[in-house]
Structure 1
Amino acid sequence: MQASPGGTRGRALPLLLVAAAPDAPLDWLDELEDPRFSYHLAHSGHDTLRDLYRYRPDLLVLGLHVQDPGPWEVLRRVRDMSEDLRVMVAARRFNEADALRALDSGADDVLWRDMPEGLAKALIMARLRRATPVSPPDQLLEDGCLRIDLATREVTMGCQYVPLTPLEFDLLHFLARNAGQVLSPEQLLHHAWRGRPEGDAGKVKHAVLRLRRSIERATGAKAPIETVRGVGYRYVPPASHLA
């Protein structure tokens, strides 16, 4: 079975990225044909990490038999990249040690090959519900320079496409939705991390730095995100930023 096409540009359906080694097929992949979401299949750890940037999926199903690099290194890099992306680890058979290691390493769920029929897909659907596209009146945020499309999770600034990780996207969206307002690290943790503020607020500093770098690489201009020392961060619309 071929995976559904999964491009980033113009995507409206939630996208599932499945990482499965070619010699370790997962039987329930046959259940993934569904009009409510699309999926893309990667066969190696390298391809998985590449496709996380290319497609910005809403959910990752990571097979424990992927190589180059292996699943634990992929999971570590995924969590370095984003604490928000939902990750489900998939194995040929249930193994308690692997399941505990996966959950301790940042996975949200564990799937295995001989699960009861339909259960794997039901769990996937439960995780994807939060990624259902929003209604058209609420899907765009624009200020004359910045354009954020929530349905496709695309960002453009000054007509330049800005590729962002899922966390960077949510961080920019929350800042831009409260343009001009100084937001504390605690507020950003609660909203951009979607209520999963694990650890201290120091992580926000590094996330904002990565967001700025992503914007500046794409646009060649200074990112319109200001640091208010001792208080937090604010997004200043570019026109005001340049004034």
Structure 2
Amino acid sequence: MPGRDTAAMGRRRIGYRSLVAQLLLIEDDATIRTSLTRALGERGHAVASAPTAMAGLRDAVDGRPDLVVLDLGLPDLDGLEMLRMLRAVSRVPVIVATARDDEREIVRALDAGADDYVVKPFSAAQLDARVRAVLRRIGADAPEDAAITVGDLTVDASAREARLSGTVLELSPKEFDLLHYLASRPGQVVSKRELLTEVWQVPYGGADKSVDVHLSWLRRKLGETAQAPRFIQTVRGVGVKLVVPS
């Protein structure tokens, strides 16, 4: 799309050790834009960027990012005005990242609908921490049956449906329960004992073989094997975890 730089496009909401997301960076300074795109990408996020307010507004509406990082000093339209326009059509979380450190500007941005405000100069680590904090808050408010997206895998509990790259997966009820349980704990190692207790509802005893068999079936439907895993990775002696494929 004209007027936009894109890096690692694709929905990557969750990753090991931290929440990661598809971000839209609206920043007119090419040096800052390139630096932040690279640094946030190295932290696992998928980052698209736009150099102007109108290009950013279009990308925020069409691209449906998980979070927008917005500079206020944009060449075509003041960032606050763009934020108000965005809020009229979208509830996407917004972090204002700007050189404006006046308290009145901070209050105006928050009143206009910003979820957080960070003043330049700031480190990529600080911005990443703020992104994760906002995502945690948003996640805490999300309904339990909200669709979960991990890479190009989507698991929708309300519809009892899982899609991989848009294609519906033919899963048995137990395979779906297993996938949903792992997807709702992305990047978190889950033991077979926990899976037996929570998915199979077996509080004591039970055979790990049931978990192994269902994991094998689930891997096959996700297009992977235990020897060449993509989503489901084994942590030897501990359990398994669902991750964004590298």
Length-normalised TM-score, structure 2:
0.49
The structure having more radius of gyration, on CA atoms, is 2
- TM-score normalised per structure 1: 0.49
